[in-house]
Structure 1
């Protein structure tokens, strides 16, 4: 995981305000995508647990 850098630091290092804004929007988009992926995985696991709990699938290999 990376350490967030504040806007002032980026501006002092030569980034333009537009670049800083783009970086912020990119970070937000990545975080939202990761949250969506985690939710998808959780839903799939819950569904698999439900299938096992209701006897619709078993661990037995035929």
Structure 2
């Protein structure tokens, strides 16, 4: 049984990721987070806590 692809074997996963990222962008645009609670701030907080040797359990949510 042959595989069927929407675009191609390589492009289907990339197309799916692009659609997902765009959907997330549209959701965030319509439902903004409070100041300081955006995705970039949360990721930077997590990144800094992991690089400074602080365990993720000690980071308050």
Pick the TM interval, shorter chain: 0.3 to 0.5
Greater per-residue helix proportion: 1
Q: Which has the higher contact order (CA 8 A, sep 6+)?
A: 1
TM-score, normalising length from structure 2?
Answer: 0.41
TM-score, normalising length from structure 1?
Answer: 0.41
Structure ID, larger Rg: 1
